[in-house]
Amino acid sequence: MRSHERPRGSISVRGVWKSFPGADRPALDGVDLRVDAGRVCALLGANGAGKTTLVRILTTLTRKDAGTVIVDGADVDRDPAGVRASIGVVGQYAALDEVLSARENLELFARLVGLNRADARARTDELLDQAGLCEHGGRRVSGFSGGMRRRLDLVTSMITRPSVLLIDEPTTGLDPVARRTIWDAVRALVADGTTVLLTTQYLEEADELADDVVILRDGSVLATGTPKELKALVGEPRMEMRESTLEDVYLHLHERGNAA
C-alpha cells in the first residue's frame, strides 16, 4: 500500500545497514538521508564508500539488513513493485543494444514498457530531441562516442516519465567536454520536477548539479548539506570543489569533528 504522508518523488532512508559475507566492515552502517521531491541530491564518495550498494537497495535489487527505505511513498520491502514503477535507473554502464540504432533502442524499450507503436515512436522523437541526438537517431549505437551513449542511456531511463531518477556515476570515464554535455542533459531531464539521486566521485560534479550533497565514507554519512554549506563546513568558504579532492574534504571534516 502506498503512503500518502510523503510528497510524490521524495526519498527517505533511515538507519540503513547492509553487510556482505567476508567483508571486514559493513557496506552501509546506519545511513540516513532524505531527498525532497523535485531536488537533486549527490551521493559523494570514493570507491567503496557504499554509494552503489545504496542505489541497489533503492532500486530493490539488493535487500538491506536493517532500516527503512521509502521511495515515492512506497516501501522497498513491502511494495517493491510500487518502487520500480516510480523510478528510472541509469547504471554505471550503458544498457543499450549496440547493433540497433538509437531510435530502435528507444522504440524497443518503449514497447517493452507497454506503449503502442504510435506512442513509442512519438516518445522516441521527444527523447531524441531531449538528448540532442535527433540527427543521429538512425545511427547504430556501436558508432557512438561515450558521451553520446551516456546521453542515450539517460533518456532511455525517462521513457516512462519516472518520479525519481537514480543515476550511478553519470560521467565516469568521460572527457571534460563529454562530462559537461551529460550535466546539461541531466539538467534538462529534471527541469520538469523529477527527483534525482546521483552518485559521483567528482566534487565538481556535485557542485554543478546538486541542490544537496551527502558525503559517504566507509559506509557511513560523514556530512550532509548544500554545496555552499559543505564548503563553509570545512572551514574554507571560498574553497572551489573543483580544486580540491575527496581526501581533502575527508581530512577537513575529520579534523573538524575531532576539534568539536
Catalogue all structural domains in the chain, each as residue range(s) with its CATH number. 11-259 (3.40.50.300)
Whole-angstrom distance, CA of residue 257 vs CA of residue 175: 35
- Average pLDDT over every residue of 13-21: 97
Whole-angstrom distance, CA of residue 10 vs CA of residue 181: 26
Residue 159 banded pLDDT, cuts 50, 70, 90: very high
Residue 198 and residue 54 in contact, taking contact as beta carbons nearer than 8 Å: no
The one-letter amino acid code at 183 reads: W
Whether 87 has a pLDDT exceeding 80, the answer reads yes
Please calculate the CA angle 165-170-171 and round it to the nearest 5 degrees. 160
Per-residue pLDDT at 3: 41
Task: Say which residue, 7 or 215, is predicted with more confidence.
Answer: 215
Per-residue pLDDT at 239: 45
Which tens digit of pLDDT belongs to each residue from 237-250?
A: 444 445 455 666 66
Whether 254 has a pLDDT exceeding 60, the answer reads no
Which tens digit of pLDDT belongs to each residue from 195-234?
A: 999 999 888 898 899 999 999 999 999 999 998 888 777 6
Among 100, 152, 161, 105, residue whose Cα is nearest residue 129: 152
The grid coordinates listed for 204 are 565538481
Whole-angstrom distance, CA of residue 54 vs CA of residue 187: 23
Among 207, 199, 200, residue whose Cα is nearest residue 241: 207
Whole-angstrom distance, CA of residue 73 vs CA of residue 83: 8
Task: Say which residue, 226 or 259, is predicted with more confidence.
Answer: 226
- Average pLDDT over every residue of 134-141: 96
The one-letter amino acid code at 13 reads: V
Among 147, 74, 90, 160, residue whose Cα is nearest residue 120: 160
Per-residue pLDDT at 237: 45
Whether 252 has a pLDDT exceeding 80, the answer reads no
